[in-house]
A = this chain, B = another copy of it.
Amino acid sequence: MAKKYRWAFFMNLDKFFNPHSIAVVGASAQKEKVGFSLVYNLLQGRQREIYPVNNSQSEVLGLKCYPSILEIKNKIDLAVIAVRAENVVSALDECGKKKVPAVIIISAGFKESGEKGASLEKEIQRVAQEYEMAVLGPNCLGIVDARADLNVSFAVEKPLPGGISFLSQSGAIGTAMFDWARQAGVGLAKFISLGNETMLTEIDFLDYLADDSDTKAVLVYLEKVSNGQKFMELAKKLSAKKPIVILKAGRSRKGLAAAMSHTGSLAPEDAVFTAACRQSGAIVVESLRQLFNLAKLFQLGIIKPRRRLAVLTNGGGPSVIAADLIELSRSLELIELHDETKQALQRVLPPMAAVNNPVDVVGDAPPSRYEEAFKILTAEKEIDAILAILTPQMMTDIETIARLFVYYSKKKPVIPLLMGGEAVTKGLAVLKEGGLVNFDFPGDVVEALDVLGGEQIKRVAESSPKKPPTSLTMQDFNETKFLLRKYGVELVGVFIEEKEKIGAVLKNISGPSFALKVVSPEVIHKTDFNAVRLNLSTAEEISRAWEEIRENIRVRIPNAKIQGMILQPMLKGKEIIIGMKQDPVFGPVLVFGLGGIFAEVLQDVAMRVAPVGEKEIQSLIEEIRGFPLLAGRRGEKPINFEKLVQLISAISHLALEHPEIKEIDLNPVFATENDIAVVDARLMRA
């Protein structure tokens, strides 16, 4: 199953979107049945060969009904199955015999409904593999290609044709988005409801959409990821060509549990998923509203960041709110207008108008005032987009002004914000006719532009109570040291097996003072057991500390096995931590942060999925809030970033080449302007 995405290379997914002939298995003449809607929706589209199949009916919507797909003489490109769950396997088997290359199974009642359904679903898999059919579903809504005027789904209404494709692991989210998009005037290219993903998964369709010229932008609703690394690879491929926006459910503990039980699949941790998407250039959104508002931007033709904004308004309050939100955004800018531009505006606008950005043409503005301002602002090269606000005041000629929005949007992106309800209805109709969409509130526009234009939102991993890693065995210190050395990472500490060797060791290690720590599988949090001694200078002091530590542990854990102790020179510098953990979906994940309270109290850490290049590591380091401490403040010198990048890169390589190591924890690491010194390291394996 892990390699099911490979189907994409064998099967022609194109048959889902460009079929000449379609069989509807389970077609029905009864209006309330899915089998009726499927035939009905197909007939509403472009003319194609449609073959209803149902052995208990003779005619469906004026078309001859076949008792079995095998009775149809012509070639069938695509079959849609909407029979009861227990009859799906035999229907699919007949599709195989008929050599149908692509099949959509709409029927529900499989793994989502319990054990019996799950075993039926395994049968689907077997039959699909036997005949090498590309199978979508079961338990899905179907497929829609608005540009090809094809609706192979039981969704009620045809969407408007456009450039946005939507991939959904939830049928309900699909229908809702469908309906919203139609109402708001957002045009769709392809819509794919993925259902249970028994055979074809999100991976296959991402691959397809990356090369689909009709698709200008991709929206994805995800509850699970079939293959983390492959997902990233395709997201990278896609995002290099067009924006891909992902809403992932299961961001919280309970949501994750719900998504996992819902899909029966392993779901990645949210922080890992976000880091992975970010690395791949995908845009991660946090709510349906954000997803939808990005779709609106795409509809307006804004598929690349537009950061330098002008605001045009007929109301003071809304423009102050918009200015606030733009200024408080992470990536957007309310541009400063040139003096000449201001003067030009002054010449054509009344004295009460504001000619700074926001440009306020004032409450009683007739269309001509908007037009004059539009002329000047659309000619200004430095403006990336115009946020055009209209509030319905008494004299406002909303329809004519909306027509100006449409006209000037051909010169420069205009983002319409008609603020109101019934009063602006006619204006909304004008916008829709002109291919524009309206935003409801200033915050929606700014948030969507900021998500598109900004760095992805940094989120902190949810803290989870740390369990002692009982199922893991701790690596021996020297083994750790040698393994790290293979990757060019030198531990500054020395492992000493017996107290008697202290003198000899001291000759090979330099430092004005030392720390001594016990090594014992029973003692994990060393400070909790008083098993660390600091500021030791002479061999005598070290010996005495050794005895004290041994005694401390003996009293509290009589059976503890003391393997030896680690002697480390005491270092100064900024304390940082570098970690790695194997994620079940994405593989090795690197974690970076400042040590001590920064990691513990403030949870100021950032993540990347390995492998990581130099630039990626740099962005990882810069992402933490405490970054200014490393960069140097008040004339302080920055730490040695070059060596830090090397170190993180080394851990990335180590993790990839040693999948048996489940966790790495370099802690503490001291960073100075000269060096990055790894004082202690823990490696855990399964």
Contact = CB atoms under 8 A, between A and B. Distances in A.
Contact of A252 (B178, B327, B597, B600): B327
Interface of A: 32, 34, 37, 108-109, 112-114, 154, 156-157, 168-173, 175-176, 178-184, 221, 223, 247, 249-255, 258-259, 262, 286-289, 292, 313-321, 323-328, 334, 351-352, 356, 358, 363, 391-395, 419-424, 440-444, 527-528, 597, 600-602, 625-626, 628-629, 633-634
A440 B176 CA distance: 10
Contacts of A440: 289
Closest 4 CB pairs of A and B: A170-B317, A172-B315, A183-B421, A252-B327
Given A171-B363, A441-B287, A634-B528, A157 B423 contact: yes
Contacts of A156: 392, 394, 423
Nearest to A321: B249
Contact of A443 (B253, B288, B316, B393): B288
A324 B288 contact: no
Nearest to A171: B363
B601 A316 contact: no
Contact of A179 (B173, B262, B392, B527): B392
Contacts of A249: 317, 320-321, 324
Contacts of A313: 172
Contacts of A250: 320, 324
Contacts of A287: 321, 325, 441-443
A181 B422 CA distance: 10
B172 A363 contact: yes
A396 to B, nearest CB: 9
Select the residue from A313, A419, A440 with max chain B CB neighbours within 10 A. A419
A289 B440 CA distance: 8
Contacts of A37: 394
A264 to B, nearest CB: 12
A392 B176 contact: yes
A95 to B, nearest CB: 23
21 contacts: A156-B392, A170-B316, A172-B315, A175-B391, A176-B315, A176-B318, A176-B392, A179-B392, A179-B419, A184-B421, A249-B320, A249-B321, A251-B324, A252-B328, A253-B327, A255-B324, A255-B327, A258-B356, A288-B318, A601-B628, A602-B626
